[in-house]
Amino acid sequence: MKISVCIPVYNFDVRELVAALNREIYVYTLDAEIILIDDASENSFSEINRELVGKVHHFVFLKQNIGRSRIRNRFIQYAVGDYLLFLDCDVRIDNPAFLRRYIAELRQNPVPELIYGNFKISEQHSGSLRNRYSVAREIFSGERSSDISIFKTVNFAIKKEVLIQFPFNEDLTGYGYEDYVFAKLLEKNGISFLAFNNPVIHVDDTDNAVFLKKTEVSMDTLYGLMTSAENSPFIQDIRVYRAATKLKKLKLDAAFLVMYGIAGKILYRNLVSENPKIRLLDIYKLALLLGKMK
């Protein structure tokens, strides 16, 4: 069984990540390859990462940014592995046996078709709103889970033939929810799933104001999913969607938005502060989504 490690690269120095992966591959003679596709990064990052040409099996530089979904699908044409192991570019390897743990899981019977490895946050940025949200809502505890709703694209492996049959939705070009829709599509089609604790360290230094801008974009994405007959069935379990539709049904949405109009500036100041509250982020997202649903 061969593994293709697939890393979409965008404006990040991936030399340390590739070195850690190569070290394990060569020391333990693993049947694995590394493929990088740069999604039109700024020149400064492209030049730094060009040092890796010749140290990985493929390094493709795109001239135009194609986005998070399309770039993951693009790896299919380069990968020769039975499984594609996707890692975000802004992660570090936490366990020197990282690849061997994946390989051991993929040799189990029955073999999962989609396997998720979880992530940790970098202590250096642990106080940011982005990373507080990850700890509160995204990182799963325990050793194993079959709940596909916890799936994230930061660290996962998928059978190549499954990705060919069920690629990422390339119509989702904005930030947010492409991983959730992908997971729900696979669940609907009976693809077997396992989450196990083989985390990478996510080095996300996004400041609070930038994260709130991304949150705005993600609510645009979610609203687009709501209005799509093809995709709306996949979002029924999303927390903010359920809250928004409930308020609309109870005809309390207008009152909520009036109250948010009064308190919104105070709420925003907390979210960009050094001690942001996740509950206030929930309110912020709900107000954004309800504003689009008028």
pLDDT confidence of residue 124: 84
In angstroms, rounded to a whole number, what is the distance separating the alpha carbons of residues 258 and 73? 43
pLDDT exceeding 70 applies to what percent of the chain? 100
Position 108 scores a pLDDT of: 82
Query: What tens digit of pLDDT does each residue of 17-37 get?
Result: 999 999 999 999 999 999 999
Asked if 188 and 124 count as a contact pair (C-beta separation under 8 A), the reply is: no
The average pLDDT across 38-63 equals: 97
Note the pLDDT of residue 88: 98
Look at residue 174 in the predicted model and tell me its pLDDT.
Answer: 81
pLDDT in tens, 183-205: 999 999 999 999 999 999 999 99
User: What is the DSSP pairing of strand 193-196 with strand 144-145?
Assistant: antiparallel
Q: CA-CA-CA-CA torsion for 201, 203, 209, 211, nearest 10 degrees? A: -50
Burial of 269 per CB tally in 10 Å (0-12, 13-18, 19+)? exposed
Q: Both tokens of residue 267?
A: 């709420």
Q: Which domains, from first to last, does the chain contain?
A: 3-202 (3.90.550.10), 208-292 (no CATH)
pLDDT at residue 14 is higher than 80: yes
Spell out the residues 6+ positions from residue 205 whose beta carbon is closer than 8 angstroms to its own.
122, 124, 125, 128
- What burial class does residue 8 get, using C-beta atoms within 10 Å of its C-beta: 0-12 exposed, 13-18 middle, 19+ buried? buried
pLDDT digits (tens, 9 = 90+) for 269-287: 999 999 999 999 999 999 9
Residue 173 confidence (pLDDT) above 90: no
Q: In what order do the strands lie in the sheet with 119-121?
A: 91-93, 200-202, 119-121
Alpha helices in the chain (DSSP H): 15-27, 43-49, 68-74, 98-106, 129-133, 160-165, 178-188, 208-226, 239-249, 253-271, 278-292
pLDDT tens digit string along 77-132?
Answer: 999 999 999 999 999 999 999 999 999 999 886 778 999 999 999 888 889 999 99
pLDDT averaged over every residue in the chain = 95
Pairing type for strands 32-38 and 3-9 reads parallel
pLDDT in the model for residue 2: 94
Query: Which residue, chain included where needed, has tokens 């928004």?
Result: 244
User: What average pLDDT does the segment 220-230 reach?
Assistant: 92
User: What is residue 38's predicted lDDT score, i.e. its pLDDT?
Assistant: 98
Using pLDDT thresholds of 50, 70 and 90, give the confidence band for residue 6. very high
**pLDDT on residue 42:** 96
- CA 168 – CA 155 distance, rounded (Å): 15
Residue 230: CB partners within 8 Å, gap ≥ 6?
none
pTM score, whole prediction = 0.94
Whether omega before 110 lies within 30 degrees of 0, making that bond cis, reads yes
Q: Under 8 Å CB-to-CB from 181, ≥6 apart: which residues?
A: 169, 172, 225, 231, 234, 235
Residue with tokens 């890393």: 7
Model confidence at 231, in pLDDT bands (50, 70, 90)? confident
Per-residue confidence band for 171, with pLDDT thresholds at 50, 70 and 90: confident
What integer pLDDT is reported at residue 28 of this predicted model?
Answer: 98
Q: What are the structure tokens assigned to 117, written together?
A: 């490895």
Backbone φ and ψ of 272, nearest 5°: -95, 5
